[in-house]
Amino acid sequence: MTWTWKLEDADGNAIETPDSDLGSQGDAESWLGERWREFADQGASTAVLLEDGKTIYRMPLTPAEE
């Protein structure tokens, strides 16, 4: 199984995503957790987790409100 991320802008358009072929869901989530602010600064507003090309879930790339 291959876990990857797809990044989208606010309009839902795919934007360039660095290679993220990872071996487990946990690895994929950790990978994004270390980089999501950088991606958000580059215009990404949503991250989509894929398992072998199938969407598992979508999540916004916004900081939690305090």
Of residues 46 and 63, more confidence is placed in 46
Predicted local confidence at residue 29, as pLDDT: 95
Predicted local confidence at residue 33, as pLDDT: 93
CA distance 52 to 44: 22
pTM: 0.86
CA distance 25 to 50: 9
Contact 8, 45 (CB under 8 A): yes
Mapped onto helix, strand or coil, the DSSP state of residue 63 is: coil
pLDDT in tens, 14-32: 998 887 778 899 999 999 9
Mapped onto helix, strand or coil, the DSSP state of residue 29 is: helix
DSSP 8-state class, residue 21:
-
**Phi, psi dihedral angles at 28 (to 5 degrees):** -65, -45
